[in-house]
Amino acid sequence: MVGSAILRKLSALGFYNLLLYTSDELDLRDQQTVAHFFADQKPEYVFLAAAKVGGILANNTFRADFLYENLAIQNNVIHQSYVQGVKKLLFLGSSCIYPKLAPQPLKEEYLLTGLLEPTNEPYAIAKIAGIKLCEAYHDQYGCNFISVMPTNLYGYNDNYHPEHSHVLPALIRRFHEAKIAGEPTVTVWGSGTPKREFLFADDLADACVFLMESYNDPQLINIGTGEDLSIHDLAQLTKEVVGYPGELVFDASKPDGTPRKLMDVSKLHALGWHHTTSLKSGIRLAYGDFLSKLESGLF
């Protein structure tokens, strides 16, 4: 999702000399494969968006996979970027790096000031390691490696898996299937009270290109909207966009995760960047993407 959004942005700006491989063609978890790729192709700029990702169930179920595979991807790409003299690397982290009970909104300096949310701790630890690896290569070797922390993302080419997706694409699929089947209710995991912030992936791509061109500080920087809403309100909004006429049921026996995750984006705003896609407009675009993939037989 993020990689394709960055590709769309770069293409729209006229960049054409792009090195594009699928995960089947280039396994970033394999050290020798990555070393050969960098030695052969010698990229000048790297957007490191590749990661093993998933929602709360996937994070909590595949704990070893999320820690090992993300560490492998990061270590290989960041190290080879140093070895082959990449001019600049942008590493994409995640808002889950911040402590579970950190003050809100989440400022960059809150990193490593408290315990992590247990359900996604392995993924968060991997991302924290990536941030610190970029900082270390900057400090020791002078590499221009920067780290950005996006908030919760959604958009074109999202993962709509019924169990392993994030909350917003999961809701889109669930409401659509319930609408088609005429189901009277839809069950949403958790109490509905946690608050989350959502950023359209194409807005993230715009911010990443903006920061690649203008930001050279090894200290991480947040990317988000600075606005959040409860999962209850998110479900209601998604229900409205999809056109599902039934009722919502919240299953409080399922985990809520972190009570609130709102990013402090004052640092990014001070540089002159702001998001442009409203949540309702973005959900409409994402639902259209879901329908097009459904019609193409991709589910």
Both structure tokens of 157: 């080419």
pLDDT at 176: 97
Interacting residues of 276 by C-beta distance below 8 A, sequence separation 6+ = 203, 206
pLDDT at 260: 85
CA-CA distance, 54 to 287, in Å (whole number)?
Answer: 19
Q: Is 105 annotated as a binding residue?
A: no
* Catalytic residue (one of 123, 215, 244, 287): 123
Q: Is 274 annotated as a binding residue?
A: no
The answer to whether 16 is a known catalytic residue is no
Q: Is 127 annotated as a binding residue?
A: yes
pLDDT at 141: 98
pLDDT at 59: 78
Per-residue pLDDT of the chain (299 residues; tens, 9 = 90+): 999 999 999 999 999 999 998 889 999 999 999 999 999 999 999 999 999 887 777 778 889 999 999 999 999 999 999 999 999 999 999 988 999 889 999 999 999 999 998 988 999 999 999 999 999 999 999 999 999 999 999 999 998 887 767 889 999 999 999 999 999 999 998 999 999 999 999 999 999 999 999 999 999 999 999 999 999 999 999 999 999 999 999 999 988 877 888 999 999 999 999 999 999 999 999 999 999 999 988 77
CATH 3.90.480.20 fits 2-295, yes or no: no
Both structure tokens of 133: 């690896």
pLDDT in tens, 193-208: 999 999 999 999 999 9
Q: What is the DSSP string of 180-199?
A: HHT-SEEEEES-S--EE-EE
Q: Is 151 annotated as a binding residue?
A: yes
CA-CA distance, 150 to 207, in Å (whole number)?
Answer: 10
pLDDT at 71: 98
- 196: number of CA atoms within 13 Å, CB side? 24
Q: Is 273 annotated as a binding residue?
A: no
One-letter amino acid at 165 equals S
Neighbouring CB atoms inside 10 A of 91's CB total 23
pLDDT at 128: 98
CA 104 to chain centre: 19
Q: What is the DSSP string of 73-140?
A: HHHHHHHHHHHTT-SEEEEE--GGGS-TT--SSB-GGGTTSSPPPGGGHHHHHHHHHHHHHHHHHHHH
One-letter amino acid at 42 equals K
- The domain limits of the chain are 2-295
Q: Is 153 annotated as a binding residue?
A: yes
pTM assigned to the model: 0.92
